Amino acid sequence: MKAKELRLSGIQNNKFGVLNYYKRILMLLTGFILFVKPFAGIASHHKREIRSEIIINATPDRVWKVLTDFGDYPSWNPFLKWLKGNVAIKNRIEVRIEPPGASGMTFKPRVLKFDTNKEFRWLGHLIIPGLFDGEHIFELIDNGDGTTTFVQREIFGGILIPFFKKMLEINTRQGYEQMNKALKERAEK
């Protein structure tokens, strides 16, 4: 008998059976969620915003075209390595970020706003809402003189925020700044 079969037969042949095994896992997860849920109100007190902005010598239309050409991200974007999916309000997309000096992360946020030449926003959660949430916002402000103020910011919330304070303040902020500079360079070509 192979090792995998032995492991499975151990689950199947124990006194709990396979279904009871999965029920126990589900009960543990439910217990964890019920334990964490009361802290959701506390999570609202743990808010942190990271913000970076840059003036780009290009119109909002030009900046938007570069920002929303997601297939081209790997060739120029040092922070947001790729973005996949149908970007439309309420849709889930898949995003890969790699902050400088920190581990990369892939997640599946929900699109909240996609307003051409003005704003793109999504909301993501770590496991369940209230643990570690991030509302990421890209804003394009038309300065009326052929330039655009590009604002990248994120509002973080959740009970785990205090544990990630240093990473957010240093690595994530640096990632935003690097991306903003790269976007400026690309849009001004």
Summarised one tens digit per residue, pLDDT across range 44-71 is: 457 889 999 999 999 999 999 999 999 9
pLDDT given at position 59: 98
Within 10 angstroms of residue 160's Cβ, the number of other Cβ atoms is 16
What residues contact 99, with CB distance under 8 A and at least 6 apart?
A: 79, 167, 171, 172, 174, 175
The structure's pTM equals: 0.76
Helix/strand number for the chain, H first, E second = 7, 8
Spell out, as residue ranges, where the chain has pLDDT lower than 70. 1-45
Percentage above 70 pLDDT, the chain: 76
